[in-house]
Amino acid sequence: MINKTLFIFIFLIVSSSLYSYSSASDIGYIDLKYILKNSLPSKKLQAELDKGRNLFQDSINQEEIALRQAEKELSQKKDNISSDEFQELVKDFENKVASIQKLVQKSRQQLETNFQLSQKLIADKVNELVAELAEKENLLIVFKADNIFYANAKINFTEKILGELNKKEGEFNFRKIYTDMIENLNK
């Protein structure tokens, strides 16, 4: 009973001292998920990712057409060449198929990696903007909204950060990342 009473007493002292030191204007929060979903750089990133996926799919479709044609030619040659020659051609064909399958897997992984790295660039810029905001507004701490049960809307700086990030849209060039990747696939 004494330990429980002592704990409550200490908690009240610490709470009251923190409350007297800090005021509502010393803290803030942002909704990072909202910013990452709705910012112009994020929308630009998504559009470029979609273009990259479409270019990738077009490239894969061309490879599939070429493989089907090679398979057709292989079938036509079956009766006109020796069994050993045919087996060699089948082996070459299977190697091409395996190579394309590896390329597809590698390309998908690269698309995902590029997307994650690009999102990190945006998140890093948000962190930078939050630090600038905290300094400008004399904030002691800024929380992410997903870690808060309740907060007054007066300390919500999400729209302010979103606006600042949107002003920095020109700093992000995601198109080059995806077009370079697709060009490398076609080599």
pLDDT at position 20 is 45
Whether 14 maps to a domain, the answer reads no
Enclosing domain of residue 55: 36-141+161-185
pLDDT tens-digit series, residues 134-178: 999 999 999 999 888 888 899 999 999 999 999 999 888 887 666
pLDDT per residue over 96-122, tens digit each?
Answer: 889 888 888 888 888 888 889 999 999
Q: Assess if residue 13 is contained within a domain.
A: no
Domains identified in the chain, total number: 1
Quick check: is 75 in a domain?
yes
Does pLDDT of 180 surpass 90?
no
Give tens-digit pLDDT for 120-131. Answer: 999 999 999 999
Confirm whether 6 is domain-assigned.
no
Q: Which residues of 15-50 are buried (b: 16+ CB within 10 A; e: fewer)?
A: eeeeeeeeeeeebbbbbbeebbeebebbebbeebbe
Whether 18 shows a pLDDT value over 70: the answer reads no
Q: Is residue 181 part of a domain?
A: yes
Q: What is the pLDDT of residue 5?
A: 59
Query: Is 116 a domain residue?
Result: yes
